[in-house]
Every structure is written in C-alpha cells, then in structure tokens.
Amino acid sequence: MRLVLILSLFTSSVLASEFDVDTYSTSLDFAQVTNVLATKEPSGSWCFGSSVQHDDQGWDHFSDRWEVIDLEGNQLGYRDLAHPHVNEQPFTRSQCGIKIPAKTSKVIVRAKCNKHGFGGKSFIVNLNTAKQ
C-alpha cells in the first residue's frame, strides 16, 4: 500500500506543469536536502553548496546525487556523489559553474539515492537573495 501511494505521488508530480515541492517523504530512506548556499560567480554562473541527510548504509544504499532544477522540473545542474557518507551526516558538497537563465529567480535543489531515487525534502533557493 505504501509503495502504491509513493508511486502515485511521484507520478502526479511528474505530470504536473510545475514541480511539487510539498509532496515528499520524511523517511531517511530518501535523501533530504537540509540546507543550500548559492553564490553567483563573477562569470554569471552559480555555485551551490548543498547539505544532504540520508541513511547511507554503504554501497548498496547511499545518496548518490543532488541536482538543481527550475520550478517546472527542468534540470539546470547537478553534483554526483561518488561514495557513501555513512559516518558523515548530514554532509555538504559543492558544485560550481551551474548556468541559471537570467529570468529565473527561484530554483529547487533535490537529492536522490541509488536505491529509492528522488522523493525526500527538497530546498527552494531564492536567487534574488543569494550571495552575489
């Protein structure tokens, strides 16, 4: 029953015209974004330092990526996470050189794990108030 509910929530999110940040699981089986620091570089691209919490259990189940998407769900950038962080929770990793369209004022950072995919809490970043 739980799996059907989760799948139906994700299916409705995928088919929506805007990304639904209010539908997520709080279970640490899913990667949760706990904080984001966004900084605009002199070149105009952005650096994102994203903190993720997840019940990493080793190579079979760990948070393996976070990504920056626009409010419609289009991917703008990402950071692959190369290994489990079993004893480092939450952990923060950065990625620079992410190009954000000039008209975009808000983005979403979400994380995934290699077992359950996306589904944890994401983080909305207001780029107008970010460090520039």
Which two structure tokens, joined as six digits, stand for 11?
């299916």
Which two structure tokens, joined as six digits, stand for 24?
């997520």
* CATH 2.60.40.150 is held by the domain 2-129: yes
Boundaries of every domain in the chain: 2-129
Q: What is the pLDDT of residues 64-116, one digit of tens each?
A: 999 999 999 999 999 999 888 888 889 999 999 999 999 999 999 999 999 99
What is d(CA 8, CA 28) in angstroms, rounded to the nearest whole number? 20
Q: Is the pLDDT of residue 4 over 80?
A: no
User: Is the peptide bond between 101 and the residue preceding it cis, with omega within 30 degrees of 0?
Assistant: no
User: Is the whole-model pTM more than 0.85?
Assistant: no
Please count the CA atoms within 13 angstroms of the CA of 34 that sit on its side-chain side: 12
